[in-house]
Structure 1
Amino acid sequence: MRRAEAQNDGTLFLALDTYGRIGGIQRFNQRVIAALAEISGDNGWKQPAVHIMRDGKADIPETTAAAIRAFGSWRLGFIVHSAVTAQSCKILFLGHINLLPVGLLCKLLSPRIKLVLFVHGDEVWNDPAHRRMRFYEPLMARALSRIASVSAFTASRMQEAFKLPHEKFTLFPNAVDDIDRQPQKSGRNILAVARLDRHDRGKNIDALIKAMVLLKRRNVECVLQVVGEGPLRSELASLARELAVEERVELLGRVSDARLAEAYSQACLFAMPSSKEGFGIVFLEAWLHGLPVICGTQDAAVEIITDGVDGFAVNPSDIETLAERMAMLLADPGMAAAMGEAGVEKVRSRYLMRHFKGNLEKIIAELS
């Protein structure tokens, strides 16, 4: 990008709640803001502008190198100020498909601006169980210069649903921050970390509980620990009691960061045979703790996990195979450790902040 242009034409990032809530998209948005600020600082460009709906002023951190403005529930103010700010920007990043109408308005008022939409998963799959595509979205999406998808799986689902050309999409994986790993303690815990809202049935935590029945019959000593809160927690507890494995299933609810780190250190494998992952950042986090992982075969997780190398991919409906893979890792600590280390190397070579920033720099360069 030419420095003179960058100084005169900035970037604008529009996002929904980013600091006021905890979640995958929220952490992604925070990473985008940090990366844009670093890129601008590295090149001597002006601060990126960031407008956030739903967050209040009190939610915004004081130490940030971006010009962040929070609009709370003031939707009209968000729209008007975004349209005005966009007139002095060259690239407008949209953090969610729901912001597409605002992006199109900015494009109509400033035709030269380039629109980039970040997509994460089921919000663009046109799956009635999660979010139906709005009738106007395919037409509006034609105005996008790039669609930055966290996975090829999500890009393919959106391309099919929205009837968009393949050329609009670019792969933009999520990332994690490296950690100082705690020493692994000798234990036989199987760990799962997931939200337990009603729309998260596709995480298939119930399949893990059913697999625990088979492991109990085979006298495989282990405990399934599930970190996460939501309405499904009580349903899962009832299922464990019904299947007579309640002594082998611990539903820990929402825990502190320190308690979560302890749970990772006490686990010997991480399992979540989901069928709704748009990317699967939980597997990256498990790898950083040195754990082998078990994912599902019906979503984007299979793009990340190499079956038999850094984990196993199992159809969540195949409870027998799921139990077998869990038993294999429990029975062979050496294999489990080797898979976990392979996962650590994969994260450090592909999925850290420097890779995220580099991918964002590439998009900016291509559109400048």
Structure 2
Amino acid sequence: MRKVEAHNRGILFLALDTYGRVGGIQRFNRRVVAALAEISGDRGWRRPVMHIMRDVDADIPEVASAAIRAFGSRRLDFIVRSAAASRNCSILFLGHINLLPVGLICKLAAPRIKLVLFVHGDEVWDDPAYRRMRFYEPLMARALNRIASVSAFTANRMRKAFALPAETFRLFPNAVDRIDRQPGKSVRNILTVARLDRHDRGKNIDALIKAVALLKHRNVKCVLQVVGEGPLKRELASLARELAVEDRVEFLGRVSDAGLAGIYAQASLFAMPSSKEGFGIVFLEAWLHGLPVICGTEDAAAEIVREGIDGFAVNPRDIETLARKMAMLLAQPGMAAAMGEAGAEKVRSGYLMEHFKGNLEKIIAELP
């Protein structure tokens, strides 16, 4: 009874940019906002309070079931008002490791509040290629009641880097929404969808271009379609010209959701042999569209891909194997379709919004 009464005081969620930018963490944050609002409404709790550090007021949608406030450049105001709000809440969710110091300030203002941190991937790997662990973070992280990690891979890397006990972590996978799959006819397209920022070299789109060059040499007809925009596009286009496959690599840039659905409908398979995925939500999206997938072996994506059942995991440095798996899926459309459907069924059974909400409810229920 005491736990219910404490929770009834309310929930606070602190996040970085959430509605003002497009990206995996931003979509995750929006899903957290929606799930917390539903959970609070279902249980008769007060409306959850959401403080978004970097968004501005114009970014915020009208959500009657949640009190959302954007702070833009007013960082001190964000900290002060979050600390004040924490005094009327029993649970504080932190959307990013960068908000850990603010969480500790809130803990000082409300010593009985429970702290939960969401972690997504390379921001907690202590990898200099992406983000170094701050010297103060391991000590601060010991104040957390739970760390909700999108994958076991990310949880294990953070646990070792931060020297944290395993019992602090809970697996909290990402999710996607149901779709109405568009009918289409495969034209032997290999699809990849990724941001092409400079720090996204770990997506290893260059490996796909090299594999396409091998397939061209072996007279395997195919086209690699790259959806995404960023500084890496010029570098990758130069590689395609260098390997004489510029006619087999299409850079489609940013596309609308409707446009992307049409591109998925015309694809034979989805491939992204990344080495930097903290989870791999793009593979869930590809499966919903009925595509088999090829992921990398060096990150969290290999956790969700069942080898030979709904996709293949390939070392991104092994261009020969990558090309061979791509050729196999292109040559056997029946097998590819069956693998895509196996993936789609997996998504429907465990990676939709209702599962995301249920997993969040479990974390809330077990907080001490």
Q: TM-score range by the shorter chain?
A: over 0.9
Paired with 2:6 and 2:281, the residues of 1 have a C-alpha distance of 35
8 Å CA contact 2:10–2:90 kept in 1: the answer is: yes
Provide the residue aligned with 1:337 in structure 2: 337
8 Å CA contact 1:152–1:300 kept in 2: the answer is: yes
How far off is 1:63 after superposition? 3.2
Provide the residue aligned with 2:61 in structure 1: 61
8 Å CA contact 2:7–2:91 kept in 1: the answer is: no
Provide the residue aligned with 1:291 in structure 2: 291
> One-letter code of the match for 2:315?
N
Provide the residue aligned with 2:158 in structure 1: 158
> One-letter code of the match for 2:354?
R
Paired with 1:365 and 1:124, the residues of 2 have a C-alpha distance of 25
How far off is 1:21 after superposition? 0.4
Query: Residues 1-368 of structure 1 correspond to what in structure 2 (within 5 A)?
Result: 3-7=4-8, 9-367=9-367
| SS of alignment partner, residue 89 of structure 1 | coil
> One-letter code of the match for 1:329?
L
8 Å CA contact 1:3–1:43 kept in 2: the answer is: no
Paired with 1:97 and 1:69, the residues of 2 have a C-alpha distance of 20
How far off is 1:5 after superposition? 3.4
8 Å CA contact 1:97–1:119 kept in 2: the answer is: yes
Paired with 1:228 and 1:302, the residues of 2 have a C-alpha distance of 23
How far off is 1:310 after superposition? 0.1
Paired with 2:304 and 2:151, the residues of 1 have a C-alpha distance of 9
Higher mean C-alpha displacement, 339-348 vs 254-263: 254-263
Paired with 2:193 and 2:266, the residues of 1 have a C-alpha distance of 14
Q: Deviations over 1:226-262 (max 9, x none)?
A: 0000000000100000000000000111112221111
Paired with 2:182 and 2:349, the residues of 1 have a C-alpha distance of 21
Q: Deviations over 1:188-237 (max 9, x none)?
A: 10000000000000000000000011100111100000000000000010
> One-letter code of the match for 2:7?
A
Paired with 1:166 and 1:3, the residues of 2 have a C-alpha distance of 27
| SS of alignment partner, residue 323 of structure 1 | helix
How far off is 1:297 after superposition? 0.2
> One-letter code of the match for 1:278?
G
> One-letter code of the match for 2:36?
L
How far off is 1:62 after superposition? 1.4
Spell out structure 1 runs of 4+ moving beyond 4 A. none
How far off is 1:186 after superposition? 3.0
| SS of alignment partner, residue 147 of structure 1 | strand
How far off is 1:6 after superposition? 3.1
Paired with 1:4 and 1:231, the residues of 2 have a C-alpha distance of 51
In structure 2, relative to structure 1, the CA distance for the partners of 1:3 and 1:160 (3 Å cut) is closer
Paired with 2:184 and 2:279, the residues of 1 have a C-alpha distance of 26
8 Å CA contact 1:149–1:155 kept in 2: the answer is: yes
Paired with 1:24 and 1:272, the residues of 2 have a C-alpha distance of 15
How far off is 1:3 after superposition? 4.5
> One-letter code of the match for 1:364?
I
How far off is 1:109 after superposition? 1.8
Paired with 1:4 and 1:169, the residues of 2 have a C-alpha distance of 25
Q: TM-score when scaled to structure 1?
A: 0.98
How far off is 1:64 after superposition? 4.1
How far off is 1:161 after superposition? 0.4
Higher mean C-alpha displacement, 256-265 vs 323-332: 256-265
Structure 1 alignment gaps of length 5 or more: none
In structure 2, relative to structure 1, the CA distance for the partners of 1:164 and 1:258 (3 Å cut) is same
> One-letter code of the match for 2:183?
P
Paired with 1:155 and 1:339, the residues of 2 have a C-alpha distance of 28
How far off is 1:136 after superposition? 0.3
> One-letter code of the match for 2:258?
A
